[in-house]
Structure 1
Amino acid sequence: MEQVLQHVAQTVEKQLDNELEKLDAMDSNDLEAIRRQRIEEMKKRAKLKQEWLANGHGEYTEIDGEKEFFGVCNKSENVVCHFYRSDTPRCRIVDMHLQTLAKKHVETRFIKLDVERAPFLTGRLKIRVLPTIGLVKDKKTKDFIVGFTDLGNCDDFTTEVLEWRIARAEVIEYSGDLLVPPAEARRQRALTVHAKKTIREKQDSDSDLDFSD
C-alpha cells in the first residue's frame, strides 16, 4: 500500500515539475502572447454568456409542451430536460437539484416538462419511468437518467453526484474526473495528500540521522 501511495505522489510531483519547467523556458514574448490569448478567450466567453442568458440559461424553467421543447433545443447547444409529473414525489427532489445546477452551469439550458403535456414526445423517447432526465446536445438526445439508479439508488443523493452524472453526457462543463464519482475522487485525492505527507516525513526523518562516528 505504501509503495502505491508513493508512486501516486511521485507521479503528481513529476507532472508539476514538467509544468514548472515549461513556464521557466518561456520568455517575455511567450508570456505576452499567452496573456493576449487569455484576454480574447475571456471576451468570447463573456459574449457567449450574454447569449446564453438571453436564451433563458441560468434558470430552471418549465416549458409548455412539445413545440417549446423543440424550440429550446434549436436555440441551445446543451439542454437538460426533466420529464416529470406533479404527483410524483421524486420529481420534486430532482427539481431541487436542477435549480442549483442551472445557476452554476449557465452554458446549459435547464428545463422541465410535464409528461401529460407532451404525450407524443414522451412516447417517441420511450419515457416510462419518472423522473427521467433527458440530456440533449446539438439537437440530439445523448443520454437519459432514468429514476435514481445511477445516483446511488437513494433519495438523498447529492447535487454533485447528479452533476457528475449529467457531465458524463458532455452537456455541461465539468472539471472533475468523469470516470470516478465525486466521493471516490475525494478519497483518491486524500490518499495522494497522505502519500506526499508520508514521503516528506520519511525524508525529514532520514535527514535527521547522524552518521558521524
Structure 2
Amino acid sequence: MDAQQAALNNMLAGTIEVLERQVDQTLVELEKVSKDEDELAALRRRRIAEMKKTQTEKQEKIERGHGDLKNVNDVKEFFANCKKTDTVVCLLTGQNTESVQLLRLKLTKLAKIYFTTLFVEASSERVPYLFENMQFNRSRLPSIAVIKRNICVGYLYEVAGNELNVLEKRLSENGALDPQDKEQSEQRARPAKPQPTKTIRGRNYDDSDDDY
C-alpha cells in the first residue's frame, strides 16, 4: 500500500469516526427528546385527570348548594349538609325584616366568591327544633353560626348592619372562608392578556397585485 492510499484510508477512517460520533450524539438527543415527550404526555394526562376530578367535585358541590345561599327546610337536611361539607356558614333568622333581606344579599355575594364554604339559611319559623337543639337565644336574631366539620365553632352577632367587607372580614377571622377561593375568583374576573402578534420574517407581502 502506497503512502497516498494509506493517507486516504486514514482520512476515511477519521471521517467515519466523526460520523459515528455525530450519529451517536443524534441518537442521544433523539432519546432525550423522546423521554421529554413521554414526560410531557404523562404530565398532560395527569393534568387532565386532575381537571376532571376538580370539575366533578365542583359539580357535586353545586348540587349540594355551594355558590348560593341555600334555604334549609328541616333539621335532617341541615345536619346532612354539615356532614358533607367541612365548612358551613349558617344564617339564623327569625322575622323576614328588611335588614335580613339585605343580609341575604351580602351572603349570597360571598357564597359566589367562597365556593368551598356552604352558605345556608335556617329560619326559626321553618326549623324551630334546630334553634331549640342549639339552645340559641332568638332575641339575638339575625345571627350567623360558623360550623366546621360538623361542630359549631362560633357565632357572629349584630351582623345585620355590617357592610359586605366587614362581614367578610369577620367570617374570615372565624375560619369560615378560604382565601384561595377569592384569589381564584379574582383571577377569573381579570381580562385575558392579549397574545403577542407573531411576525413572519423574510418576505414582505404587499396588498397590491401590481407585481403579478
User: What TM-score bracket applies, with the shorter chain setting the length?
Assistant: 0.5 to 0.7
* RMSD across aligned positions (CA): 3.0
CA distance in 2, matches of 1:138, 1:44: 22
* Deviation digits for residues 57-79 of structure 1 (CA, Å, limit 9, x no counterpart): 11212121222111211222221
CA distance in 2, matches of 1:162, 1:36: 41
| CA contact 1:66–1:117 (8 Å) conserved in 2 | no
Shift in Å, 1:172: 2.1
| TM-score for the superposition, normalised by structure 2 | 0.56
Shift in Å, 1:38: 7.5
> Which AA in structure 2 matches 1:146?
Y
Question: Which residue of the partner structure matches residue 21 of structure 2?
Answer: none
Instruction: Verify: 1:98 aligned to 2:91, yes or no.
Output: no
Which residue, out of 146, 155, 162, partners 1:135?
146
CA distance in 2, matches of 1:42, 1:168: 30
CA distance 1:39–1:167, change in 2 (3 Å): farther
- Where 1:116 maps in the other structure, the secondary structure is coil
Question: Which residue of the partner structure matches residue 70 of structure 2?
Answer: 61
Count of residue pairs the alignment pairs up: 142
Bigger RCO (CA 8 Å, 6+ sep): 1
Shift in Å, 1:107: 1.0
CA distance in 2, matches of 1:90, 1:127: 20
Which protein has the larger Cα radius of gyration, Structure 1 or Structure 2? 2
Which residue, out of 141, 147, 172, partners 2:177?
172
Shift in Å, 1:116: 2.1
Question: Which residue of the partner structure matches residue 12 of structure 2?
Answer: none
Instruction: Verify: 1:122 aligned to 2:135, yes or no.
Output: no
4+ residue stretches of structure 1 with deviation over 4 A?
34-44
> Which AA in structure 2 matches 1:155?
G
- Trace 1:1-150 onto structure 2 (pairs within 5 A): 44-128=53-137, 129-148=140-159
Matched-pair identity in %:
30
Shift in Å, 1:143: 1.4
Unaligned runs of 5+ in 2: 1-35, 182-212
- Where 1:57 maps in the other structure, the secondary structure is coil
* Deviation digits for residues 56-110 of structure 1 (CA, Å, limit 9, x no counterpart): 2112121212221112112222211111023433222211101111111221111
Unaligned runs of 5+ in 1: 1-27, 149-153, 177-213
Shift in Å, 1:138: 0.9
